[in-house]
Structure 1
Amino acid sequence: MAVVTKYVVVRDGAEKMTFTSKAEADAHDKMLDMVDELVPLLETSELVSDEQQLEALAMFLAKERERVLIALGAKKKVTKKKPAPAAPKASE
């Protein structure tokens, strides 16, 4: 018999998701915290009146937080440096 450790994210008494690693569960919980903060902010915009669309937009922004921070100028875009071209070999 195998023993499996599961980490369950619970919100308002309901199980939201189950993970096999604590780090993944913590990351998901943090994302849900962001959604909880974004929903009231988005409600003030009056751009979205449907509750499901409002939560979907908040979830999208939370999932894409790195790109949102870059777009807002709060974070620098990380660019991968290309390796320098190899110098030509000297002929003997």
Structure 2
Amino acid sequence: MAVVTKFVVVREGVEKMTFTSKKEADAYDKMLDIADNLTPFLTESDLELDDGTCEKISFFLAQNKEKLLSLLKGMAPQKPTKAIKTPKKSETKK
């Protein structure tokens, strides 16, 4: 018989996510805390967003906090690297 340890993130009595490591569970819980703190910030703005939209934006910003922090510090966003397409033999001119 195998013993499996699971770490469950629970919010307001609802199971949100299950992880196999405490570190991952703690990181997810912290991300949810950030999203919870961002929601009232967005609702208090003049943007006239409904509650569902505010929650989605808060969750997105919390998930991408590292990128957001660098943008707020004035750093230019990194452009995604494009894969170089090599032409196939049938596509090359003769």
Same fold (TM over 0.5): yes
Q: TM-score range, shorter-chain basis?
A: 0.7 to 0.9
In structure 1, what residue type is equivalent to 2:50?
A: D
**TM-score normalised to the size of structure 1?**
0.75
- Structure 1 residue ranges, 4+ long, deviating more than 6 angstroms after superposition: none
Using the TM superposition, give the Cα deviation of residue 48 of structure 1 relative to its aligned residue in structure 2, in angstroms: 4.6
**Deviations, residues 22-59 of structure 1 (Å, cap 9, x unaligned):** 00000000000001100000001132522221111000
Identity %: 55
Unaligned runs of 5+ in 2: 78-94
**TM-score normalised to the size of structure 2?**
0.74
In structure 1, what residue type is equivalent to 2:12?
A: D
Unaligned runs of 5+ in 1: 78-92
- Taking only aligned residues, the RMSD between alpha carbons, in angstroms, comes to 1.8
In structure 1, what residue type is equivalent to 2:58?
A: A
Q: Please list, as runs of the form range in 1=range in 2, the aligned pairs for 1:2-81 lying within 5 A after superposition.
A: 2-73=2-73
* SS of alignment partner, residue 61 of structure 2: helix
Contact 1:48 1:54 in 2 (8 A): no
